[in-house]
Amino acid sequence: MNYKDQGMYTPFQMRNLWDKCTVLIMVLFTSQIVFSQQNDIAKQEEDISKKGPIIKRKGQFFTSWGWNRTSYSNSDIRFKGDDYDFTLSDTKADDKPNPFGIKFFSLGDITLPQTNLTLGYFFKDNYNIVIGFDHFKYVMRQDQEVLINGNIQIGNSDFDGVYTNQTITLTEDFLQFEHTDGLNYVFVGVNRFDNFNQLLGINTPKFEVNLEEGVAFGMLYPKTNTTLLGKERYDEFHVSGYGLSAKVGLNLTFFKHFYLQTDFKLGYIDMQDIRITKNTSDKASQHFYFYETTYTFGYRFRL
């Protein structure tokens, strides 16, 4: 058959045309896939540019060490023993900071400053659990005037009597009362950890600005230094109560591992079993609020 005379393609021409069409279809299909993948990559890059890079912290440990300043609300302190039971109302107390010096870093003087120690673990990228130790110092102001209610019958005419809303001056021979070695708050807490680099326009991974917020619960293990009503001075560690706290902190991280952090913490302390003499029947109790500012340095790492 003469295909040319009849205006028809030969079989060879038909196969050649089919091959060209197949190649064209494959090129168009491949181009569509590549274009789609490029769009997906561009969208992912756009999302990262909007949200900032994801910082992987899950599985990291961290530890920190530092110092604090703390203030306390007024508190009613009740003293109870075999021959006395009285309450001092609205007593004032202060912390006891040490001047900055070598003792802040000396292991031999480690408990002299008001110190803070933490050890934590990120169980999610922006959540961690922490075990902490806040070493406060609490010193009742000497020679302040307070109201006293109750009775004292210790055989000392200077102190014996029944008191009803009477004003008394807290002289050293009547009472010295302080948790100076110290008012130790041992706690477990959970914190949320958020990065603000993108918001602040910081594009380097070598420096981070983070905000940490958290809550904690723990026990009070003070070493209470007390001289009461002329009795022998007593100063021993004793589990005395519990504490609750909430905080917000600013964290500055350098080279992904080293950081400086300052925390602002509000808390409540309730101690119903404070040892004040060698006699176990002599006890004190008090509760109060505290406000703490900490200044710490730390290190994040993986095992």
Mean per-residue pLDDT over the chain, rounded:
85
Q: What is the pLDDT of residues 96-140, one digit of tens each?
A: 887 665 555 666 566 678 999 999 999 999 999 999 999 999 999
Among the listed residues 156, 143, 146, 141, the one whose alpha carbon sits nearest the alpha carbon of residue 229: 156
Determine which of 82-86, 106-110, 176-180, 230-234 has the lowest per-residue pLDDT on average: 106-110
Find all residues with CB under 8 Å of 270, minimum gap 6, and list them.
Answer: 241, 242, 243, 287
Q: What is the pLDDT of residues 169-178, one digit of tens each?
A: 999 999 999 9
Q: Which residues pair with 78 in a beta bridge?
A: 87, 285
For the chain, give every domain's residue range.
1-51, 57-301
Greater pLDDT, 54 or 204: 204
Q: How far is CA 144 from the centre of its chain?
A: 34
pTM: 0.79
DSSP 8-state assignment for residue 108: G
Residue 29 binned pLDDT confidence (cut-offs 50, 70, 90): very low
Longest dimension (CA), the chain: 142
The full 3-state SS of 232-297, as one line of letters, equals CCEEEECCCEEEEEEEEEEEEEECCCEEEEEEEEEEEEEEEEEECCCCCCCEEEEEEEEEEEEEEE
Q: In the predicted model, is pLDDT for residue 163 greater than 70?
A: yes
Q: In the predicted model, is pLDDT for residue 146 greater than 50?
A: yes
